[in-house]
């Protein structure tokens, strides 16, 4: 490890100790980046993975386990509720983090928050709602909590050596490494976590189905888990769009996404839709915000109002409709463009024996069965040891029964207390443990009736010991124990499914897009980025087109209302819209300002507009480095409703000019030096890559630029061959005297470079 001394500064009257040397103080340490990663970063990364973000096979992260165990030690499993602040304070003995993070952990585990399908905390007070962004939980001094009855399945065996215990962070108390859960909690609740370089996202499954599936898997490891547990189940309900092939992939690999739709009902009396269940990955505020955004954009003209009517009865989003609107068709549109339909991303990453592993559902259950088998083995071994110890004591008591008077006499005749146990051992041939037990019996219990009652337990203990030894000797008996416990859990705590299944093959056809009327229009696009469409009737009755001062029209086209529009910007991006998105207007208005209408990036402006319906043809780009690129218009077509495309054209050189071509044709490229090139676009290969750099066509001298590109008009040149070239690139040709005279009498309409 090398050191580089920091240069000394002279002492001053204000700081006379400036150069007093303290070991390593102010030294700059040079350290290899590899050493930094190994010494500083890797331990942090491992700590986050193993001790924070990824759940163990018992279904809990360390923060959950520490909180629940603290509540168990506070007798909150059988006792009454206590203030949440008290629980948080006690948990800090195990979890050395701030009280806010501990309380937030408890909130998510609470029944009142409605995050978990199988909650572990019985809460009282305002614990907020998982489905609401704005319904915050109250401070811990205002709420109370205790452990939910289902926690009996977590702690009933914890004192029987079923799991290992370790010291807490300051070695003042012990805490369990895992909890001996009697059912697969790892799949019973939603679990989300982000570690370093990996994450975990586990969805919840119905507890009854989960227990049945685990039982079936214990009996037959070839069992198809989808037969008994077809899909996840979420606390918020909703409708799962069920694709069996996709679900099988998730079950097999532990990765994939599950689409969930909101549930709704139509209130005919008030002509409104009431949404009462939403996907688990969104909130009611996010849904309302998105719908309002789409209403403002003009997408949902059928909606008159939307509001949140959530109350003590549960979630409720009310959508008021215009008269005559079909609610089912509207909901199909809402599903498509709002979080009313959302996807839960699955990533079943679990810590197994201290190693993170992404497992399928069946693999997780098999690992849990293995873990549970170890817990049951240790519990039975513990009970067996206790039973043998008890039997051993009763055997000694049985020996005393032969002559109680002799035992009393031995005790009475022993002069020293320390000799009582040895004398009993000698007198009856019993060991020290048995003698200690006999010696501690109260005088009032040294009667035949008491001893006979105790001895009746010998037969029961012997039968119990034989049964436990038999269970430990074979895996089949162990499996029966686990199955019996799972059956009891499923019967006691199981509930019906909350999330319905809707097969994708049975889904109603998606609502077709609102029928857009088709009629002829004329569209205008200006240099400054204003766009307007005018019907032929209005155009005939209108006068001069109103424009912003200094602006001019660069595109005038007769088209129809159903065509698509592509707006190219100076940031190499393309924004897509439809002619029908714009209202019919008149010549006396400026029109819509495209950068604002399409929410373009700050400072971004339009340079070109293309109109199409079938995306046939090309877009020709001519750059200031003399290269030209011909991109198929189909490259800008998208299967989804994407409104913005990046890398719309090459950024390697400034754009000189561009044109829309329906087919290959002759075009004229004019430079600022007065040179012309007559080029057939067939000489340029069409590319599907939007940001292609193109091929060199015209050579420009320093200081010259592309002035404009326009379609060639037959008869424009007296001798067209003068401006053609057999090979590219070329310098182009200056106008001949005849063409110059001809040009002075003709005005050509084209898209000039100044627009870009």
**632 falls in which pLDDT band (50, 70, 90)?**
very high
Do 251 and 362 form a contact (C-beta atoms < 8 A)?
yes
Same domain for 279 and 154: no
Q: What is the pTM of this model?
A: 0.68
Decide which of 417 and 178 is more confident. Answer: 178
The reported pLDDT for the residue numbered 414 is 86
Per-residue pLDDT at 271 exceeds 60 = yes
What single-letter DSSP state applies at residue 584? B
Q: What is the pLDDT of residues 418-457, one digit of tens each?
A: 888 898 888 888 889 888 888 888 877 767 777 777 778 8
> 41, 44, 142, 519: which one is catalytic?
142
**263 falls in which pLDDT band (50, 70, 90)?**
very high
Question: Is 665 part of any domain?
Answer: yes
Do 279 and 344 form a contact (C-beta atoms < 8 A)?
yes
Do 235 and 115 form a contact (C-beta atoms < 8 A)?
yes
Same domain for 437 and 398: yes
**Whole-angstrom distance between the N-terminal and C-terminal Cα of the chain?**
58
Same domain for 744 and 598: yes
Per-residue pLDDT at 13 exceeds 70 = no
Per-residue pLDDT at 515 exceeds 70 = no
Same domain for 445 and 527: no
Select from 119, 93, 96 the least CA-distant residue to 108: 119
Question: Is 228 part of any domain?
Answer: no
CATH of the domain at 629: 2.120.10.90
The reported pLDDT for the residue numbered 695 is 92
At which of 150, 181, 212 does a domain end? 181
Select from 611, 579, 613 the least CA-distant residue to 597: 579
Same domain for 719 and 578: yes
Q: Which residue has the tokens 């159903």?
A: 562
What single-letter DSSP state applies at residue 37? I
Same domain for 411 and 470: yes
Q: What is the pLDDT of residues 333-378, one digit of tens each?
A: 999 999 999 999 999 999 999 999 999 999 999 999 999 999 999 9
Do 480 and 488 form a contact (C-beta atoms < 8 A)?
no
Mean pLDDT across 314-327:
92
Same domain for 702 and 590: yes
Q: What is the pLDDT of residues 78-130, one digit of tens each?
A: 989 999 999 999 999 998 888 999 999 999 999 999 999 999 999 999 999 99
The reported pLDDT for the residue numbered 9 is 55
- 585 three-class SS: coil
Percentage of the chain with pLDDT > 70?
Answer: 93
- How many Å apart are CA 358 and CA 245, to the nearest integer? 20
At which of 181, 202, 217 does a domain end? 181
Burial class, 356, CB count within 10 angstroms (exposed 0-12 / middle 13-18 / buried 19+):
middle
Mean pLDDT across 463-473:
91
CATH of the domain at 88: 3.90.199.10
Same domain for 554 and 472: no
Residue 474 is encoded by which pair of tokens?
């074979």
Same domain for 489 and 544: no
Helix axes 99-109, 62-73, angle to 10 degrees: 80
Percentage of the chain with pLDDT > 90?
Answer: 57
Residue 297's domain spans which residues? 263-339
Question: Is 36 part of any domain?
Answer: no
Q: What is the pLDDT of residues 191-211, one digit of tens each?
A: 999 998 899 999 999 999 999
Question: Is 362 part of any domain?
Answer: no
The reported pLDDT for the residue numbered 2 is 47
CATH of the domain at 323: 3.30.1360.40
The reported pLDDT for the residue numbered 511 is 44
Same domain for 333 and 268: yes
The reported pLDDT for the residue numbered 755 is 36
Same domain for 419 and 293: no
Residue-by-residue DSSP string for 151-169: GHHHHTTTTTT-S-EEE-T
3-class SS string, 364-402: HHHHHHHHHHHHHHHHHHHHHHHHHHHHHHHHHHHHHHC
Decide which of 166 and 639 is more confident. Answer: 166
Decide which of 417 and 661 is more confident. Answer: 661
The reported pLDDT for the residue numbered 344 is 95
What is the CB neighbour count within 10 angstroms for residue 641? 9
Q: Which residue has the tokens 């119990």?
A: 464
Same domain for 399 and 317: no
The reported pLDDT for the residue numbered 296 is 86
Burial class, 396, CB count within 10 angstroms (exposed 0-12 / middle 13-18 / buried 19+):
buried
Select from 245, 247, 274, 273 the least CA-distant residue to 259: 247
Paired residues of 751 in beta bridges: 709
Q: What does the chain come to in residues?
A: 756
CATH of the domain at 470: 1.10.268.10
Residue 487 is encoded by which pair of tokens?
């059956």
Question: Is 273 part of any domain?
Answer: yes
Exposure letters 46-65 (e unless 16+ CB within 10 A, then b): eebbbeebbbbbbbbbbbbb
Question: Is 20 part of any domain?
Answer: no
- 334 three-class SS: helix
Is the Cα torsion angle 282, 283, 289, 291 positive or negative in sign? positive
Question: Is 358 part of any domain?
Answer: no
251 is a catalytic site residue: no
Paired residues of 110 in beta bridges: 121
Select from 13, 113, 122 the least CA-distant residue to 78: 122
State the alpha helices, DSSP H only, in 146-299.
152-155, 185-188, 207-219, 225-228, 244-253, 284-296
Q: How many domains does the chain have?
A: 4
- How many Å apart are CA 299 and CA 581, to the nearest integer? 9
Peptide bond just before 367 cis, omega within 30 deg: no
Question: Is 73 part of any domain?
Answer: yes
At which of 147, 166, 181 does a domain end? 181
């Amino acid at each position: 490890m090398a050191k580089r001394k920091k240069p000394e500064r002279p002492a001053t009257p204000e700081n006379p100790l400036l150069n007093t040397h303290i070991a390593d103080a102010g030294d700059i340490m040079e350290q290899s980046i590899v050493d930094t990663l190994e010494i500083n970063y890797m331990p942090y990364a491992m700590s986050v993975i193993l001790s924070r973000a990824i759940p163990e096979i018992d279904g809990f992260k360390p923060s959950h386990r520490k909180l629940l165990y603290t509540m168990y030690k506070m007798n909150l499993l059988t006792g009454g509720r206590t203030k949440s602040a008290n629980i948080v304070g006690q948990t800090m003995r195990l979890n050395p983090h701030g009280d806010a993070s501990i309380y937030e952990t408890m909130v998510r585990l609470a029944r009142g928050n409605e995050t978990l399908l199988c909650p572990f905390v019985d809460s009282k007070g305002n614990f907020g709602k998982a489905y609401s962004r704005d319904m915050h939980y109250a401070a811990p001094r205002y709420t109370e909590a205790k452990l939910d009855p289902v926690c009996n399945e977590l702690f009933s065996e914890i004192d029987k050596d079923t799991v290992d215990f370790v010291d807490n962070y300051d070695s003042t108390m012990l805490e369990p490494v895992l909890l001996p859960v009697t059912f697969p909690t790892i799949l019973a609740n939603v679990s989300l976590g982000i570690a370093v370089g990996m994450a975990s996202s586990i969805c919840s499954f119905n507890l009854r189905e989960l227990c049945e599936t685990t039982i079936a898997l214990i009996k037959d490891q070839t069992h198809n888990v989808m037969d008994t547990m077809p899909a996840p189940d979420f606390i918020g309900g909703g409708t799962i769009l069920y694709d069996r092939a996709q679900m099988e992939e998730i079950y097999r690999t532990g990765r994939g996404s599950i689409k969930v739709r909101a549930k709704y009902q139509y209130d005919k009396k008030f002509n409104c839709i009431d949404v009462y269940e939403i996907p688990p990955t969104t909130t009611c505020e996010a849904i309302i915000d998105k719908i309002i955004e789409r209403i403002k954009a003009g997408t949902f003209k059928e909606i008159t109002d939307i509001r949140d009517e959530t109350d003590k009865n549960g979630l409720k989003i009310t959508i008021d409709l215009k008269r005559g609107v079909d609610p089912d068709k509207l909901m199909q549109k809402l599903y498509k463009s709002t979080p009313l339909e959302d996807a839960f991303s699955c990533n079943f990453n679990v810590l197994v024996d201290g190693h993170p592993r992404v497992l399928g559902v069946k693999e997780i259950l098999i690992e849990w069965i293995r873990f549970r088998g170890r817990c049951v083995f240790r519990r039975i071994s513990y009970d067996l040891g206790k039973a043998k110890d008890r039997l051993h004591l009763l055997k000694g008591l049985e020996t005393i029964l032969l002559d109680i008077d002799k035992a009393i006499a031995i005790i009475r005749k022993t002069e020293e207390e320390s000799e009582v146990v040895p004398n009993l051992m000698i007198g009856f041939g019993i060991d020290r443990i048995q003698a200690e037990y006999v010696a501690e019996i109260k005088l009032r219990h040294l009667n035949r009736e008491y001893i006979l009652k105790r001895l009746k337990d010998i037969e029961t203990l012997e039968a119990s010991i034989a049964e436990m030894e038999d269970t430990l000797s074979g895996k089949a008996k162990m499996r029966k124990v686990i199955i019996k416990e799972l059956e009891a859990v499923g019967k006691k705590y199981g509930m019906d499914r909350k999330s319905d299944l809707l097969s994708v093959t049975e889904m109603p056809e998606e609502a077709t897009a609102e029928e857009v009327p088709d009629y002829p229009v004329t569209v205008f696009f200006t240099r400054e980025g204003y766009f307007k469409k005018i019907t032929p009737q209005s155009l005939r009755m209108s006068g001069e087109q109103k424009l912003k001062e200094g602006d001019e029209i660069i595109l005038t086209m007769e088209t129809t209302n159903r065509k698509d529009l592509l707006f190219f910007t100076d940031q190499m991006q393309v924004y897509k819209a439809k002619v029908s998105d714009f209202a019919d207007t008149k010549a006396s208005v400026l029109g819509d300002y495209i950068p604002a209408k399409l929410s373009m990036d700050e400072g971004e402006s339009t340079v070109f507009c293309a109109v199409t319906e079938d995306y046939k043809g090309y877009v020709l780009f001519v750059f200031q480095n003399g290269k030209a690129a011909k991109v198929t218009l189909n490259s800008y077509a998208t299967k989804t409703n994407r409104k913005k495309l990046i890398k719309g054209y090459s950024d390697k050189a400034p754009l000189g000019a561009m044109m829309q071509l329906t087919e290959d044709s002759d075009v004229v490229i004019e430079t600022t030096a007065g040179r012309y090139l007559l080029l057939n676009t067939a000489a340029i290969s069409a590319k599907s890559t939007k940001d292609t750099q193109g091929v060199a066509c015209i050579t420009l001298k320093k200081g010259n630029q592309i002035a404009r590109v326009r379609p060639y008009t037959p008869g424009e040149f007296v001798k067209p061959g003068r401006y053609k070239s057999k090979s590219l690139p070329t310098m182009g040709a200056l106008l001949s005297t005849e063409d110059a005279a001809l040009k002075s009498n003709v005005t050509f309409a084209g898209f000039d470079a100044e627009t870009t």
